[in-house]
Amino acid sequence: MAVKLKKLKNQTIVITGASSGIGLVTARMAAKRGASVVVAARDEASLRKLVEEIKRKGGKAAYAVADVGKEEDVRRIAQTAIKEFGGFDTWVNNAGVSIYGMIEETSIDDMKRLFDTNFWGVIYGSRIAAKHLKNRPSKEGGAIINIGSTLSDRVVPIQGIYSTSKHAVKGFTDAFRMELEMDDAPISVTLIKPAAINTPYPQHAKNYMDVEPSLPPPVYAPEVVAETILHAAENPTRDAFAGGGGKALSALGQYAPRLADTIMETSLFNSTQKRPDKPARRNRRNGLEGATGTLKERGEYPGHVAESSAYTTATLNPLSTTALVIGGAGLAIAAAYAFGNKGNGNTPSRSS
């Protein structure tokens, strides 16, 4: 079935993990463009403040306090959307937690807790969303958008368990999409794979290292991901990279896996995933163990942040005759950077 999706201004969108980073930017952007938004996270104070902000600016919003690792909480999100807006058209599984640490040093309990959010939260959300979207009397098209990662394709050390969870999200999303297509369900299922994004992700991670974690360049603004999400809400999209650097890393891992391993184990591991000038802050709050929502869109990355991605813009526009040219240029820039950068925190002056 060819799925036809509503224009954003006519939609109700559910967004999990909406109290910071990508989820927060997406919620604000969707509301500004006329969508009704249902925001979900664990911190009620942040959600209440966000909804008040959106309404004050003339938008429509409601919130549900939820830990997506608990199926009953995810059901409450759907019930809130139905109660407040009569249902929903797009469901964005964005909530996620992270761990920086060697696999042998990470506790099994922490690994399980991460999977509760990153993997089972996506399954709960996708199944609940699909049931609602399949049973709407109008048979209108709807969208399920799962936020994976570049690490859905290519794992990195120190974030091994996080990478593993995103591999699982990719596998689930691909399987679920095919099953819905077999059922001729009017649902578009999208996997979005962000590159390194300047959100509070490192600050909210549980950190086993003795230094503060950072992001490996090139690093992109969260708006790059939000634009990709909202594009998929209106246009059926199988998958998309948010940031050309992510595509470059994925391609390197696919076509030259041993070379990718070497890069990960040397320059990326030693120079860009750690900040030796910042000892780890012990006993800090982290998202794995509790809510950390503070309505912060961006993190503390000290280097250049690309505010746009020519590669992503081109690939989301299938009518663009320059898509392959721009995409290839983006990959070349990112690949060259991966080989030449020594972890100085700078990225190319143009976006890819």
Catalytic residues: 162
In the sheet that 142-147 helps form, which strands lie side by side, from edge to edge? 60-65, 36-41, 12-16, 90-93, 142-147, 187-194, 239-242
Cite the beta strand spans of 184-319 per DSSP E: 187-194, 196-197, 206-207, 211-213, 219-220, 239-242, 274-279, 305-306
Residue 251's SS3 state is helix
Give the DSSP H/E element, type plus range, for residue 265. Answer: none
Q: What is the DSSP letter of 18?
A: T
Written as six digits, the tokens of 119 are: 């993997």
* Whole-angstrom distance, CA of residue 316 vs CA of residue 302: 29
Cite the beta strand spans of 101-168 per DSSP E: 142-147
Cite the beta strand spans of 87-238 per DSSP E: 90-93, 99-100, 142-147, 187-194, 196-197, 206-207, 211-213, 219-220
**C-alpha radius of gyration, the chain, whole number:** 19
Question: Which residue from 229, 307, 234 is spatially nearest to 27, judged by alpha carbons?
Answer: 229
Report the half-sphere exposure of 112 (CA within 13 A, side-chain side).
Answer: 4
